[in-house]
Structures are given as C-alpha cells and as structure tokens.
Amino acid sequence: MTDTLNDIALAMVEDGQGILAADESTGTIKKRFDQIGLANEEENRRAYREMLFTTDEAMKQYISGVILFDETLRQSTKDGRRFADVIRDAGAVPGIKVDKSAKELAGFPGEKITEGLDGLRERLQEYHGLGARFAKWRAVIDIADGLPTRGALAANAHALARYAALCQENGIVPIVEPEVVMDGPNASHDIDRCYDVTELTLNMVFDELYAQRVDLPGMILKPNMVVPGQHGPKADAQTVAEMTLKVLKATVPPAVPGIAFLSGGQSDEAATEHLAIMNKIGGLPWKLTFSYGRALQQAAIKAWGGKPENVAAAQSAFTHRARMNSRAATGIWRPEDEREAA
Ligand code: 13P
C-alpha cells in the first residue's frame, strides 16, 4: 500500500525522533570543511555523509528523516549501497532540498527571494524515482531597520506555497521553511522584534498555503525559534520557549501534523534546551521536534576531521547529540544528561 502524504508527515515527526538536515549545498559544506582544513572534494563529501548515515544507534532510534542535497541523493556507501536505501533501511525517510537558494530580490535592496520553481515538477518526479519522499525549501527573512518589507515577505510566501503544492502533486511531503534569521548581516534586534517578524511571516505563509490549496495534514513546518539577533540583547531559555510557543499557537493551524525547528546558529545545547522546555510545557496540537543541521553535526564534524581513523569518534559525537535532541523532543532532557558518555 502506498503511504499517503499524511502517513509520511507523521513518520517524519514520530515520537522521540527528528530530522537530520544534511542538505548543505557544495558551497555551504565548504564552510564546514574549511573549519577542519579539509578539501571540498566529492569523495570527502561522500565519506562525511557515509559516516553520518551509517551511525546505527542515531539513525535507527533518534532520526526519522534525512534531508539530502542533489549530489548526495545520487551517492552510495563505499561498498555500493545507495544512501537513500541506507537511510530507509534504518527506518528513516529520505528527503531532498529542492530550492536553488536565496538570491537578491529585484527592487528590494537587502532582501532575498528563494529561486527554483522553474522545472520543479520534473525535478520532483525524478527525485521521487530516486527514493525521496519529502522535500525542503527555505525562504530567508532578514531583520534590519525597516526590513523585512511586505513585498519581500509576500514573494517568499508565494514561492513557498507554489513549491508545496507541486510537492504534494508528486507524492512528496513539503517541509515549508520560512527562516527569520538570527545571524544575518545586522542581527542586533531583540527578541520582541523577532516575535513580530515571525508572526507576520507565518501568517503570510499560511495565507498563501491556503490560497494555493496546500493540504495541511500533508506538510511539515520548519520555522525558526523566537530568539534575539546574534548581537542583540540576550534572552533566557524559558523566555525563548514561551515566546516561540506563543507565536506558533497564534499562527499555525492544528491540522499541521508537525513542526520541526531549524537550529539557525544557536549553540548545540541551546537548541536542545529550548526544544526540551517547549515539549515539557506540552499540551500542543502538533508534534514539536528538530530538523537541525549545525546543532546535530558540529561536534561530529570536528571529531571526524576528515580522517578515517576518527569515524567511530565522530559517530559517537553524532549519536550523543541525536540522543539529547530525541529526549528534548519528548521533553525529558535535563541539563545533566549532557555529561553522559557519548
Ligand atoms: P541549521 O539547523 O544549521 O539552521 O540548518 C537547518 C536547515 O536545514 C537550514 O535550512
């Protein structure tokens, strides 16, 4: 029997599990490899992803889905098993980033529009054939004086909704990701400003999803948490959790099965703690979990350092973070858990 979009979405937010965002483009993974002094070559990118996807405990117990980049969906382990099959055999859903990244928006200095709608139907059909069952599209919303504008928000919300409708037409669950960024060029705003911009963004996105006839039970929302800009006045973890829940309750219909946060530049532990507090508060109409890139991978990539002899150490670093976030997804994580042996 074929899974419905809602079946797939529910599997992506299964209790105590979350999504590994390993969809760094070739340009973004270069930034990560630069930190460990590793050349950005296809074989290194493949070896790094093999290390992650063959981490048994993490993949089987804590990870419900993996977002891949186009190149990665076409790659295999050293012994010839396609990554999509490795992920599926571990009980997780393979997914694919389909946007073509954020470019300058004409007429709106300092603002971006995510591209990639042209030819998307055909690409989705191919990705489905390669095993992908969900997709991701990220809109980038920067906060600065007078920004974002309604014009830029409307363009991004419309593109997200057109993308989501095309995914569903092709049997693929869309992850709808409107990211109000915390580490943009300015990033000195406070948490209240992040709240207001996130509220406006999510309202405009859900208006467009409705207008484009997107089926809410067949999608996942991937939002930012409500946090101050990187250089803005700090906020404590309880405040972040409460304000994030407040904005989500005000804007996200209960028909959406799950919300999987991005980490967005938060420290590994902050991303875990915020998610844990929200789930501890509980009583929510949707599942609340993680779809972290940096906050799941940072420790692992450092431990790996591009060396085959470090694969086991890297896999235990990845397992540790995945386990911590799994506990956060059910609200049972405590700060002292961080000291557990990896
Ligand atoms: P971060 O968790 O590093 O923000 O990445 C998640 C992601 O997929 C961004 O698009």
Q: 82 by DSSP, 3-state: which?
A: strand
Identify the band that residue 1 occupies on the pLDDT scale cut at 50, 70 and 90. Answer: low
Whether pLDDT at 275 is above 70? yes
How many whole angstroms from 21 Cα to the centroid of ligand 1?
6
pLDDT of residue 214: 98
In this prediction, residues 228-253 reach a mean pLDDT of 98
How many whole angstroms from 184 Cα to the centroid of ligand 1?
14
Q: Which residues are catalytic?
A: 177, 222
Contacts of 2 (CB under 8 A, 6+ apart): 171
Q: What does the pLDDT look like over 162-187, one tens digit per residue?
A: 999 999 999 999 999 999 999 999 99
In this prediction, residues 229-248 reach a mean pLDDT of 98
Which of 112, 291, 325 should be mutated for ligand 1, with most atoms under 8 A from CB?
291
Q: Are 139 and 177 in contact (CB under 8 A)?
A: yes
Contacts of 297-302 spanning 24+ positions with Cβ under 8 A: 297/20, 297/22, 297/32, 297/52, 297/321, 298/268, 299/268, 300/51, 300/52, 301/32, 301/35, 301/36, 301/48, 302/35, 302/36
Q: Are 143 and 184 in contact (CB under 8 A)?
A: yes
Q: 174 by DSSP, 3-state: which?
A: strand
Which of 52, 98, 179, 262 should be mutated for ligand 1, with most atoms under 8 A from CB?
262
Whether pLDDT at 266 is above 90? yes
Whether pLDDT at 2 is above 90? no
How many whole angstroms from 294 Cα to the centroid of ligand 1?
6
Percent of the chain with pLDDT over 70: 99
Q: What does the pLDDT look like over 131-169, one tens digit per residue?
A: 999 999 999 999 999 999 999 999 999 999 999 999 999
Q: What does the pLDDT look like over 285-306, one tens digit per residue?
A: 999 999 999 999 999 999 999 9
User: What does the radius of gyration of the chain's CA atoms come to, in whole angstroms?
Assistant: 19
pLDDT of residue 120: 99
CA–CA separation, 47 and 52 (whole Å): 9
Percent of the chain with pLDDT over 90: 97
Point out the ligand 1 atom lying closest to the alpha carbon of residue 292.
2
